Chain A
Amino acid sequence: MATIAAAIPPLGTRRGVGTVARLARHPSAVVGAVVVAVMAGLAVLAPLAAPFDPGASRLEGRLAPPSWLAGGAAGHWLGTDGLGRDIWSRIIYGGRVSLLVGLAATVLSLVPGLILGLAAGFFRGATDAALSRFAELLMAFPHLIFAIGVMAALGPGFWNLVMALAFKGWVEFFRVARGDTLSQSSREYVGAARALGASGARILGRHILPNMIHTSLVLGTLRMGHFIVLEASLSFLGMGLPPRLPAWGSMVADGREVMLTAWWVSTFPGLAIVFLVLAVNLIGEGLRDVLDPRLQSE
């Protein structure tokens, strides 16, 4: 009987076939993907792409304007910061932090949120009640304050930063996955699979998950932009990675004091954040239009 249950074609498989092709025809998603690909490429190839060592300071060349401005320092085409470090090189290396933290926080929020949401929506009862109350509780904390508290407790570091974001980040995925699972559980195909003797795990993994995972994937792409901004905000407040490592948020903070005389120190890292978040959000919107026409932005 389980064989017959397995024969019920999961919708997600059919949906998955043309997703990439349709995404490739979505103009804004293509623009977003190109920007993210260029930034990721630069970050991966940072040792080759960066013209200078991002940590090497040269005090005699501090606050030099971009090379294309009057009085600009040759070779430093986005200028230098207060310690004479090359801003373009630091932006390239800082991209590693933003991309990796954003990606890791998204994955570590999505996976537990999805699994717990599936469990709560499918098994209901005490599991659902306990998880839902805990999620409501975490929702009451402002994300930034929660992350600052966790960072203060754990100390600076890459994984601590990721955990600080994911500790509360899973809640949104949980709520969406729970709602979708509740809705899918009442569909006829689930009843049919049950009647054919499929186990709970099989119904969840083989039937419900493929039919609802697209919502979590869309949410994941849109939340990645949010995590990148949160990481930059924490770095801006001095609560991110250790100060010696270049991060876009802390670069903006470095330039605050010299904004009047050296606007380039803050402006370019800030623009890098805007471009990356914009690009990630464009992909998210495109994915939403392609995968979930119900949520389509007209």
Chain B
Amino acid sequence: MRAVVLARRVLTTIPIMFGVAVIVFVVMRMLPGDPVDIILGQAGAASQQDLNRLRQDFYLDRPLGEQLLRFIAGAARGDLGMSFARRRPVFAMLVEALPATVELALAATLIALAVAIPVGVLSAVYQRSWLDRLAMGGAFLGISMPAFWLGIVAIMVFAVQLGWFPTSGRLSHEVLLAPTTGFVLVDSVLARNWAALADGLRHLVLPAAVLGAGLLAIVARVMRSSMLEVLREQYVTTARSKGLAGRLVIWRHAMRNALIPTVTVVGLQLGVLLGGNMIVETVFGWPGMGRLVVEAIFNRDYPVVQGAVMLYAMTFVLANLAVDLCYIYLDPRIAL
């Protein structure tokens, strides 16, 4: 039964992805400026013949309806077209940029959860203590701080003044690492290149901490409030009255149930992290999808923007699906 419900849930993603494709296609076509002029403008003076040939190559001379159908039919096959500006398949460009973005988002999530969950739990257990007030004050500040400013301040303090971390990029120039998966940390482990692993980690910490700061603040607050609710439940009182150690009751019984709202928030925020990290990527010179999209929007490189937005939307939809799956694990009473 669950499999049927899940299959239905997966199928609902199809009309959403179709709608996303239509919206992104329409918005991109509303942009002022002819992409062919922009591309050939970069290459220097071009004849009318060159312009026409390029328009034909990219089907820009066809009616908009036909262009849209071609794009959707291609996307369904995994063919996202060719980049106008770089004359390369968009799919290949996204595959190259995606690992950097995912690595950064995952590291940010890990840092955020590793700090936020214990902080949220302890804040609830020691409610109204100085620890609680300090943690929630910090969380409130974290929610209110724009990532680009936090990034600049972090670079200034930790990279420039203290010299603990590099200011930008994924690896130092002198460190050589052949890309296998595109994930620097994974590739360096696979190649047993420990110098590259250490260098990759040093490059990752600062942008991941800045990107994760907002999530950390949100998760700590959600964790605290759901933990406070759970601690008042009868089964917690029962576990305590049975003589179970306080630590066991908190970390095993209460925390597992308090995690349910946290999973929802993390799932929804993962999509936000992936989509919103272009700011952090720009500040830290991180060669991921965010930078690729911003550059493509300025170059009117329709296929790249379309492909990237489809990928972002797909990630968001899948993250929602993953949240539902986590529900089943955390609380088997929940039927989707």
Contacts and interface: CB of A to CB of B under 8 A. Distances in A.
Interface of A: 133-134, 136-145, 148-150, 152-153, 155, 225, 229, 232-233, 236-237, 249, 252-253, 255-256, 259-260, 263, 266-267, 270, 273-274, 277-278, 281-282, 285, 297-298
B144 A256 contact: no
B16 interface: yes
A170 to B, nearest CB: 15
B71 interface: no
A78 B282 CA distance: 27
B274 interface: yes
A278 B144 contact: yes
Nearest to B278: A144
B40 interface: no
Given A136-B16, A225-B144, A237-B282, A266 B312 contact: no
A142 B152 contact: no
Given A137-B19, A140-B316, A298-B225, A237 B146 contact: no
A281 B313 CA distance: 28
B140 A278 contact: yes
B271 interface: yes
Residues of A contacting B: mostly = helix
A294 to B, nearest CB: 11
Nearest to B229: A298
Interface string B296-336: 01100000010001001100110000000000000000000
B127 A298 contact: yes
Contacts of B23: 137-138, 141
Interface string B137-170: 0001101111111001101100010000000000
Contact of A144 (B28, B153, B155, B279): B279
B118 interface: no
Contacts of A149: 24, 27-28, 31, 297, 305, 309
Contacts of A145: 275, 278, 293, 309, 312
A233 B155 CA distance: 18
Contacts of A260: 156, 160
Given A140-B20, A149-B24, A270-B152, A298 B146 contact: no
Nearest to A256: B152
Contacts of A259: 152, 155-156, 160
A148 B291 CA distance: 12
B63 interface: no
